Structure 1
Amino acid sequence: MASQETGKAAALTNVLNFRDVGSFVNNCNAGSAPKLKPQRLFRSARPDEASSADKNFVANVVGIKTIIDLRSDTEHIMAAKKHQQADKVSTPTSRDPAAGVPKIPGLKYEEINLNGKGFERSLVWRLKYISLARLIYNMALGYRTEGIAILGREVMQPRGLIGLGRDTLDYCGPEVKKVFDVLSDETAYPVLVHCTQGKDRTGITVMLALMLCDVSIDAISSDYVLSESELEPEKEERMKEIRSIGLDESFARCPPDFCPQIKEYLGAKYGGVREYMAGIGVSPEQQEQIRSILLA
């Protein structure tokens, strides 16, 4: 593991892909490039298996106050079952799918399914009729993973990570706004953003925040592609999950052109990040507040 100067924390043992975004970006940038405040915005993969030492580091050494969890209900259910099987405990009966997912005591959790209902509908609309019928049948019987695998094979795989990134911009405006409502609240910081891998949904979120701060696309891309090597230690285990929902190894990678392509799409369709944010309800005042929180 690299030193804190690169924004990566050597102190964590059971949480992958953890880093201080500000420190990492500052290390990438040179000269007159915008500088970010360190110890403000962090990113990681799921912290579900955090050790006692990891939890102490996150809560007391780094001082994280808020964790933004971008995962879906299905991912929370799978994570809760994994925890239940590993620790041989009963998952609490609750209508909240995240109720059985381990949490770090004392921190505020914002559970925002970034790829929510609008995104899900956009995928379902692309299915052929027979596949839609199979999806409904599986979901009705409680076979969530099997149902999602239909979407994975027939829609998500052909669209690829970049296509799905564009879909996130197009169909996840309400959820992106919820995330940025949190990020515009100075009392929430330091903030940790994560999904399952801390790679794509987390990557889109961090990318939008960094673009608001006029960070170069090269530095943003460097932060994004770092996730591929950071996640390598559990790649074999991740591939089991990825394959279970009908996807291939490309979904474990970080395409080098992901961030430039998303930026280009953002500009061509929406006029840029500020216009996109305003269009989904993140006010100019909130955007400036985020800049003031993150920029040195």
Structure 2
Amino acid sequence: MAADTISNGHTDPIPVNSIPNVLSEKPGAPAPAESAHNLKVESHSFENIVNFRDVGASTSVKTDQGVRQYIKHGILFRSGRLDDASTSDLETLTATYNIRTIVDLRSETEGKIGSMLANTFPAGAIAAVKPTDMMSQVLPPHVEDRLSKLNAKHVSVASETVVTGQRKSPTDTRLARKRSTVVAMDDLKKELSKSKQGGLTTRTTYFVNFAGSKYRYYCVIKPCPFALKLKLIGWMMIGRKDRAIRAVGSQVLQPKGLQGLNYDFLDYCGEQIIQVIRIMIASATYPILIHCTQGKDRTGLVIAIVLSLCDVPRPLIIQDYVKTQKGLEAQREVMVQEMAKTGLDATFSDAPEQVIVDTLKYLDNKYGGAEGYVKKYELQDDEIRALRAIFVAEGLSRQSNVVNANTVVALKQKGYDDLVA
């Protein structure tokens, strides 16, 4: 291996000089806040998958001793949607990154809305609202809470045998959802063991409806003035959900901005965030890829919480988040057009540093940080320890980074017990 590269467990080594040095010189001291600026994004040979990266590599830093790694390389990935992935893209996901689990955070309508509506969030969340739902404000809030918690105890799962060179679901979201089965969260390990087909490699997709019924009630339906609700019901009944989506976007969501969107996610999507974490600590699920539509807001928040739970320094969490701006640069114009169809301005196509900085402060001030947040939603101490055991790399040197990355790749077919042995 060349002296200026470090293996990340893939066929494409990461140049050491592309990993920023953001740690201060004093051991144990926090990294400077300004270190999240002027970042380089690792290049990947995808045709139609955007904003893809290895989270372990994205949060690594150069030191005098080599590369300081907080999250193991080759085990946790993030990206935008896979619906448009080419055969070559799928081949890369399988042969290069060996993705075994996909977590899709989109609503049930995203990926199948069609040309009439923008195929993105928040259009999907709004499109899922039915005319009768618009008057659901008469329901006591505790009923909605109970429904949300009930839904959070189950997840939709679709599995496939991985065949190189063929385009198959779960990248076809409509087909994957159609054939998915609803599984109790407590039975994830049983489901995974059933998905092993005669020793063949399987890939499992979990559909987590991130902005679910609780989000829709409190953030879409309830804030609508009564007069707007009447208009929305009329538009929906005559098949003009596009007008309803634009109205809700411009009058309800736009005034909140990206900052308010993230605050709402934290306040009303906690059960879904716990679903994702429990999938991450289930047996035999690595490497794992988490995505939404652009891999920006929902994915960005989940990854930030997971990194916080794994004690990754905050400047590195910010560093990973802002890489999305560069990761989506090539299709920003299309995103702006999509957002306009949803009644939102161009700022909703961005991933500015201040958004994640303020969101993490909100998480600290209101919930006592990531650990306080997940415990509020009943994630247990042993589950947090399991998450750390699976994903955290214990301050490895350059040489042991290489050994660790190769070990992760060697064990990727086996599962949780092997990875933490």
Matched, 1:270 2:367: yes
| One-letter amino acid of the structure 2 residue matched with residue 290 of structure 1 | L
Matched, 1:107 2:203: yes
Counterparts of 1:232-243 in structure 2 under 5 Å?
Answer: 232-243=329-340
Whole-Å Cα distance in 2 between the matches of residues 143 and 269 of structure 1?
39
SS in 2 for 1:99: helix
Whole-Å Cα distance in 2 between the matches of residues 99 and 16 of structure 1?
20
Note the alpha carbon deviations across 1:227-249, whole angstroms, 9 max, x for none.
11211111122222111110000
CA contact (8 A) 1:80 1:100 kept: no
Q: What's 2:274 paired with?
A: 177
Q: What's 2:81 paired with?
A: 46
Whole-Å Cα distance in 1 between the matches of residues 236 and 324 of structure 2?
32
> Is the radius of gyration larger for structure 1 or structure 2?
2
SS in 2 for 1:251: helix
| One-letter amino acid of the structure 1 residue matched with residue 301 of structure 2 | I
Whole-Å Cα distance in 2 between the matches of residues 33 and 237 of structure 1?
37
Whole-Å Cα distance in 2 between the matches of residues 30 and 246 of structure 1?
49
In structure 2, runs of 5+ residues without a counterpart are 1-11, 20-40, 118-157, 159-171, 178-200, 394-421
Note the alpha carbon deviations across 1:64-97, whole angstroms, 9 max, x for none.
0111111112322236999xxxxxxxxxxxxx99
Whole-Å Cα distance in 1 between the matches of residues 57 and 385 of structure 2?
21
* RMSD of Structure 2 on Structure 1 (CA): 2.8
User: What is the TM-score of this pair, normalised by structure 2?
Assistant: 0.62
Counterparts of 1:116-155 in structure 2 under 5 Å?
Answer: 116-123=212-219, 124-155=221-252
Q: Structure 1 residues 192, 215: CA separation in 2 closer, same or farther (over 3 Å shift)?
A: same
Q: What's 1:289 paired with?
A: 386
Matched, 1:20 2:95: no
Note the alpha carbon deviations across 1:241-263, whole angstroms, 9 max, x for none.
11111000000111211222111
Q: What's 1:63 paired with?
A: 98
CA contact (8 A) 1:59 1:107 kept: no
SS in 1 for 2:106: coil
Q: What's 2:42 paired with?
A: 8
Alpha-carbon shift at residue 147 of structure 1 (Å): 2.0
Counterparts of 1:211-290 in structure 2 under 5 Å?
Answer: 211-290=308-387
Q: What's 2:257 paired with?
A: 160
SS in 2 for 1:8: coil
| One-letter amino acid of the structure 2 residue matched with residue 11 of structure 1 | S
Q: Which shifted more, 2-11 or 54-63? A: 2-11
Identity among equivalent positions (%) equals 32
Alpha-carbon shift at residue 166 of structure 1 (Å): 0.8
User: What is the TM-score of this pair, normalised by structure 1?
Assistant: 0.86
CA contact (8 A) 1:80 1:98 kept: no
CA contact (8 A) 2:249 2:344 kept: yes
The alignment covers a number of residue pairs equal to 281
